[in-house]
Structure 1
Amino acid sequence: MQRRRYPRALALVALATALATATTSAAPTATAESPAPAETRLSATIDAILADARLDGAQAGVVVADATTGDTIYQRNGDRRLIPASNTKLLTSAAAMELLGAGHRFTTDVLHTGARRGTVLTGDLHLRGGGDPTMLAADYDALAARVAAAGIRVVGGNLVADDTRYDATRLGPDWTWDDEPYYYAAQVSALTVAPDTDYDAGTVIVTATPGAGAGERPQISLTPPNGYVRIDNRATTVATGTTNVSFDHEHGTNTVVVTGQVAVGAAPTSDWVTVWEPTGYAADVFRTALRRQGVQVLGRTVLGRATPASATGIARHDSMPLSELMVPFLKLLR
């Protein structure tokens, strides 16, 4: 699986940010005719980076501003419209660390309403999301095991997936519509699933393995395994040639269409594909986990309903601290 990575661009902005911080905290006051030495060094450093031969043919826009006054310290092509990509993470991560704190943990809770009668819960079981982007299928398994350990074997009511910590807007208003299937455009929900420790929440990993012979359909598998996503397998196994497979999903559905070809004997090929309505995805993974733990839910799955304040807690999962989460968040550049 290949990702688009922009380490050079991110390093440039990170360096500029660090130098700007040093400039604002330590530089002497500059006159209009004579900029401060630190500002001169900053400009020279950024100019040298932009002149690197490895950036030949690339477009770069840089603006460095004083965090206190807002004054521009350095700018090149500052008014040129470019896609910021993962450089945006510098702002969101700084805001999160400032507002939430390095020790903040996202929580996911399981609660219930109604009475307990032996191993039977007469009310609803609530899965309440706290915006954790690192929730894996294994974490939902652990929550389900806690429900079983509490002595509950039958839930007479519904499984309620509470994603109300965030609003119901799933996609950004300026996101490109044809990026919708790709992991970097996954829908936003306070209750979601990440397929692996890259933590691309709201996606599944789809893998195509060649069939035994030419003309056969490749074998398609999902990580994590689930019944929420359907596969429309239109791909073919070929005797020779290169593997060239596309994974796409139809708008408004959770049908993943697999097209292209896989060569006999070739290694499996995989990619991340977004799901439609990640709250339902999380609920499906949790419901399956409950079933594995011997807990039967008799009612239906209800999405987007807030948990009553009177609900009784059963289990909680805490994410890693925000300071640790920043490592995959910033290191895995999109």
Structure 2
Amino acid sequence: ARPRTRPRTWPLAVVVACALAWSSSGATVAGPSDSGIKGAIDTILTDARLDGAAASVVVADAATGETLYQRDGSDRLMPASNTKLPTSAAAMAVLGPDYRYRTDALATGTRRGSVLRGDLYLRGTGDPTALAADYDALARQVAASGIRRVTGRLVADDTRFDTQRLGRSWAADDESSYYSAPISALTVAPDTDYDAGSVIVEASPGAEPGAEPTLRLTPRTDYVDLDVRATTVPAGRPRTLTVEREHGSNTVVVTGEIPVGAAPAKEWVSVWEPTGYAAAVFADALNSHGVRVTGPV
């Protein structure tokens, strides 16, 4: 598993059954849970590693709804990744297992030979798995159609979603973290873990102490600027690199030290305005396939 910074302030919520039941009482309920569930969960929740954490647990029988175990079940907690369970269930129920997201390249205007006299549109529907390779494949299709020049603009259409990019309760100091990436109907994931709306910043030490570390972005894009303030230090020194994006911008600041000979350090960083990020990646792909857009993005 790759080392990545996790949220520092989210309380713990434990899901121990497929069905969740809520009760107005915060007391522990005994009964059928005495067969072993209660003791097992109590042991987990008294682990010293959870000191200072908040836990809320309800175990219910999926068939009858009977509460088998409860501990602070009515507390209000930040659900964190557990939200993926009801979200996935809702998506499966509403969209179905055969649903596919569409990301389209569309055009307005007229076509004359290899010239499109109009605008080229990139329209997204919220695909969270779109990679730079997918935008490259789409650009290849545009080129294969015979278009070599677009006289108008490249327009990114993200109107399938609203304009609220961040959750109302998301912590401001998590803004540059991959798990706090802004939401959009058009975005890019840097890897097949599908951390949509983020880039991977990889830092390698320089050849000698005092040298600037070598940085690499995945995917490669000029949409993100790197401000390198870090330095390479002698072998054996601790690695103290910090990689954070400045608030409201796409300037990623790299500070701290990395020792000579150390393994590359990787950090997943969210991108500000994911629609523009997707458009920039697509524009680069068009250019690499010989399609020139003369207007702005």
State the Cα distance separating 1:81 from its structure 2 match: 3.9
State the Cα distance separating 1:143 from its structure 2 match: 0.2
Q: Equivalences for 1:79-228 in 2 at 5 Å?
A: 79-228=74-223
Higher relative contact order (CA 8 A, sep 6+): 1
The 1:123–1:104 alpha-carbon spacing in structure 2 relative to 1, beyond 3 Å, is: same
Counterpart in 2 of 1:269? 265
The count of aligned residue pairs is: 280
Do 2:4 and 2:267's aligned partners in 1 also have CA atoms closer than 8 Å? no
Aligned partner letter, 1:202: G
CA–CA separation in structure 2 for the residues paired with 1:215 and 1:265: 13
State the Cα distance separating 1:5 from its structure 2 match: 7.6
Aligned partner letter, 2:180: A
Counterpart in 1 of 2:296? 300
CA–CA separation in structure 2 for the residues paired with 1:51 and 1:75: 10
CA–CA separation in structure 1 for the residues paired with 2:4 and 2:283: 31
5+ residue gaps in structure 1?
22-34, 302-334
5+ residue gaps in structure 2?
22-28
Aligned partner letter, 2:282: F
Do 1:144 and 1:293's aligned partners in 2 also have CA atoms closer than 8 Å? yes
Do 1:215 and 1:238's aligned partners in 2 also have CA atoms closer than 8 Å? yes
State the Cα distance separating 1:46 from its structure 2 match: 3.5
2:25 paired with 1:52? no
- SS of the residue corresponding to residue 225 of structure 1 reads coil
State the Cα distance separating 1:177 from its structure 2 match: 0.4
Do 2:31 and 2:68's aligned partners in 1 also have CA atoms closer than 8 Å? no
State the Cα distance separating 1:49 from its structure 2 match: 2.9
CA–CA separation in structure 2 for the residues paired with 1:288 and 1:191: 16
The 1:67–1:285 alpha-carbon spacing in structure 2 relative to 1, beyond 3 Å, is: same
Do 1:16 and 1:42's aligned partners in 2 also have CA atoms closer than 8 Å? no
> Normalising to structure 2: TM-score of the pair?
0.87
- SS of the residue corresponding to residue 267 of structure 1 reads coil
Instruction: List per-residue Cα deviations over 1:103-142 (Å, max 9, x = no partner).
Output: 1111111111111000000011010001000000000000
2:239 paired with 1:243? yes
2:290 paired with 1:289? no
Measured on the aligned residues, the alpha-carbon RMSD in Å equals 2.5
State the Cα distance separating 1:70 from its structure 2 match: 7.7
Aligned partner letter, 1:78: G
CA–CA separation in structure 2 for the residues paired with 1:147 and 1:104: 25
The 1:41–1:70 alpha-carbon spacing in structure 2 relative to 1, beyond 3 Å, is: closer
The 1:43–1:143 alpha-carbon spacing in structure 2 relative to 1, beyond 3 Å, is: farther
Do 2:250 and 2:272's aligned partners in 1 also have CA atoms closer than 8 Å? yes
